[in-house]
Chains A and B, each alone.
Chain A
Amino acid sequence: MTQTLTLIMFSGELDKALAGFNIAIGASAVGIDTTIYFTFWGLNIIRKKGGLIKGKSIKQKLLNLMNRGGSDGLPLSRFNMFNLGPWMMKNIMKNSHMPTLRQMIALAKIQDVKFVACSSSLEMMGLKKDDLIEEVDEIAGVATYLNIASKSKINLFI
């Protein structure tokens, strides 16, 4: 039986996303079936950049005004310093020949990592599948996650 890895991507920060994708890429490279389940702030990683302010109600629009998302615009969990931190970190990464988060997302997809977006988080933020990047395979709920996770030996919450 093939091994599986399930990763819950709860955080929407650049550093945590990099750590998550690093593991996902490593795992899928060695033949482990990998699923990333994006929920809450993690949805920002798989959101399309820009566009109109999403949401049905005023409150959702306000939330999305503060929380624009897109893998290029993620903050750092520490030393964000009004986005100076991520800018510096991306620069350092470029100089040390590390792939960008966007490239890591693409690479994960090439290696058949499955991307699942949490339905209730999407609903809360007033987002639809069209607001997410093409790499996202499906929108699912907790039952789907539990089904995959219960078969997985490795289960991470980031």
Chain B
Amino acid sequence: MKISRKLDCRKLQCPMPIVKIVSTMKDMKYGEILEVLATDPAFTSDIKALAERTGNNILEIKEEHGEFHAYIQKLKTKSQS
């Protein structure tokens, strides 16, 4: 898996991780992968909902030492023209 960008959202509370992910993904090309680190307990649920809304692909979500790592791939969809 080739990661194009990394985003550190640790210690940030809802809705800041979502806001940062959306603004970072705006600058990314289709097919690129973003790695996000977060500690917000709502993160897993929120990122799944976000991906469903925006039509991006979540490759993996894992938890290590209380931190979440998520890998999202930007896909070409109607909602993000």
Q: Which of A's residues lie within 8 Å of B, judged by CB?
A: 22, 25-26, 29-31, 96-99, 107, 111
Q: Which residues of B (49-80) have their CB < 8 Å from a CB of A?
A: 50, 53-54, 79-80
Sample of 13 more A-B contacts, CB < 8 Å, known A29-B23, A31-B54, A31-B80: A22-B14, A25-B19, A26-B14, A26-B18, A26-B19, A29-B15, A29-B18, A29-B19, A30-B22, A30-B50, A31-B53, A96-B13, A98-B16
In the A-B complex, list the 10 residue pairs whose CB atoms are closest, starting with the nearest: A26-B15, A29-B22, A29-B19, A97-B11, A98-B13, A30-B53, A25-B15, A29-B18, A22-B15, A26-B18
A51 and B23 alpha carbons, distance in the complex (Å): 36
B12 contacts the other chain (Cβ, under 8 Å)? yes
A29, A96, A99, A107: most-surrounded residue (chain B CB, <10 A):
A29
Question: Could you list 7 examples of A-B contacts with CB < 8 Å?
Answer: A25-B19, A29-B22, A30-B53, A97-B11, A98-B13, A99-B16, A107-B19
Count contacts on B: residues with CB < 8 A to the other chain: 15
Could you tell me the dominant secondary structure of chain B's interface residues? helix
Q: Mark each residue of chain B from 15 to 27: 1 if its CB lies under 8 Å from any CB of chain A, else 0.
A: 1101100110000
A41, chain B: closest CB distance, angstroms: 24
A29 and B20 alpha carbons, distance in the complex (Å): 9
A111: B residues at CB distance < 8 A: 19
B27, chain A: closest CB distance, angstroms: 15
B50: A residues at CB distance < 8 A: 30
Residue of B nearest to A111 (CB): B19
A30 and B39 alpha carbons, distance in the complex (Å): 20
A29: B residues at CB distance < 8 A: 15, 18-19, 22-23
B54: A residues at CB distance < 8 A: 30-31
B19: A residues at CB distance < 8 A: 25-26, 29, 107, 111
